[in-house]
């Protein structure tokens, strides 16, 4: 068995393990939904009573926390509150249960405390996060915390914060429960590289350069971006770019969409008319202001085995980035530097 086949086997075993577990979680999830707040030293026992395996118990803790603790935006924005909270880890846990709200440190410390109470090995992992609005920023100071938990002698990654219900997430996001490390590392990088849980590791510099993923389907549909390998690329005067994807379905409809979008008017620096002037224009004249001119032109698409290779030309001198669009979903964004 070669190295590539070994990776596939490990991935399939991981998926099989999770799939089997997911089918067993329904009853646990329903049961945990009726469990309220208890004194912190009794809470783990109450949440996991009648459960036998560490996997079941970890799932129950994850569901209870993400269903009952919402994100504390007030704490996130208040330095005064942080000074009151961050006296000790115990105080952070107490405040989290008292307010029923937390930021990432509260979520991760509470999860670890509950695991510790059940003699389940768990770590709080501090590191760097990458979300859409700051995905092109290389951070020098860690800004997030999550957990690594050991089940049946294997470590798994969990982010209770990003999974929790709050004003932005009306449903618990199970994607962040025992997430595949190869997916997790696109948005989370630990201060200690070993907690990437990647067999071959990944440096902070490599993490910073990973393409910006903007849609969950990238992971759920088994898509991999082989080219480009970085989130920012230099484009020569020919304006030719290449995109290569690996996918389990090569019949997908794939396009590239440039940004900022242009119209005839914006491309030619025409000032937008007043409402009164616009109302007098013909349909053809209005199209100069409304009709989008594609700033990326696909020259050819080639399919080889499970790879889709695209050659395209950037047709706009004002283009700043382009999106890789699969079946109408923007799965990744790449910034461009025009030479």
Residue ranges covered by each domain of the chain: 21-205, 224-338
In three-state secondary structure terms, 200 is coil
Q: Which two tokens stand for residue 38?
A: 């208890």
Per-residue pLDDT at 166 exceeds 90: no
The mean pLDDT value for 165-186 works out to 87
In three-state secondary structure terms, 122 is strand
pLDDT at 20: 44
User: Could you tell me the pTM of the whole model?
Assistant: 0.77
pLDDT at 263: 87
Residues facing 155 on adjacent strands: 150
Give the span between the Cα atoms of 238 and 216, in whole angstroms: 33
CA distances to 44, 102, 211, 269, 299 from 225, in Å: 41, 35, 8, 35, 19
Q: 224-338 — its CATH code? A: 2.60.40
The predicted-structure confidence for 190-199, as pLDDT tens digits, reads as follows 999 999 999 9
pLDDT at 134: 62
* Closest alpha carbon to 68 in 113, 90, 98, 109: 98
CATH T-level fold of 21-205: C8orf32 fold (3.10.620)
Q: Provide the 10 A C-beta neighbour count for residue 327.
A: 13
């Amino acid at each position: 068995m070669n190295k590539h086949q070994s990776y596939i086997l490990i991935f399939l075993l991981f998926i099989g393990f999770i799939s089997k577990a997911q089918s067993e979680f329904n009853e646990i999830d329903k049961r945990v939904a009726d469990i309220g707040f208890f004194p912190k030293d009794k809470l783990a026992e109450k949440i996991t009573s009648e459960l036998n395996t560490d996997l079941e118990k970890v799932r129950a803790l994850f569901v209870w926390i993400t269903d009952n603790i919402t994100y504390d935006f007030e704490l996130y924005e208040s330095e005064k509150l942080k000074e009151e909270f961050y006296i000790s880890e115990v105080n952070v846990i107490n405040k989290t249960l008292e307010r029923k709200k937390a930021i990432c440190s509260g979520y991760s410390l509470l999860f670890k405390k509950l695991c510790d109470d059940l003699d389940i090995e768990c770590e709080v992992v501090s590191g760097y996060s990458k979300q859409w609005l700051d995905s092109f920023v290389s951070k020098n100071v860690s800004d997030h915390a999550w957990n690594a938990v050991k089940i049946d002698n294997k470590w798994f990654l969990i982010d209770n914060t990003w999974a929790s219900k709050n004003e932005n997430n009306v449903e618990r996001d199970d994607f962040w429960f025992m997430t595949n490390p190869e997916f997790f590392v696109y948005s989370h990088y630990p201060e200690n590289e070993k907690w990437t849980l990647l067999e071959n590791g990944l440096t902070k510099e490599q993490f910073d350069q990973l393409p910006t993923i903007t849609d969950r389907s990238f992971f759920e549909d088994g898509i991999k971006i082989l080219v480009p390998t970085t989130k920012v690329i230099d484009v020569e005067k020919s304006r030719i770019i290449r995109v290569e994807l690996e996918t389990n379905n090569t019949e997908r409809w794939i396009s590239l969409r440039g940004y900022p979008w242009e119209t005839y008017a914006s491309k030619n620096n025409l000032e937008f008319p007043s409402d009164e002037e616009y109302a007098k224009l013909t349909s053809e004249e209005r199209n100069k202001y409304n009709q989008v001119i594609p700033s990326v032109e696909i020259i050819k698409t080639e399919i080889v085995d499970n790879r889709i290779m695209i050659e395209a030309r950037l047709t706009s001198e004002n283009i700043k980035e382009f999106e890789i669009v699969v079946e109408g979903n923007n799965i990744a964004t790449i910034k461009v530097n025009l030479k």
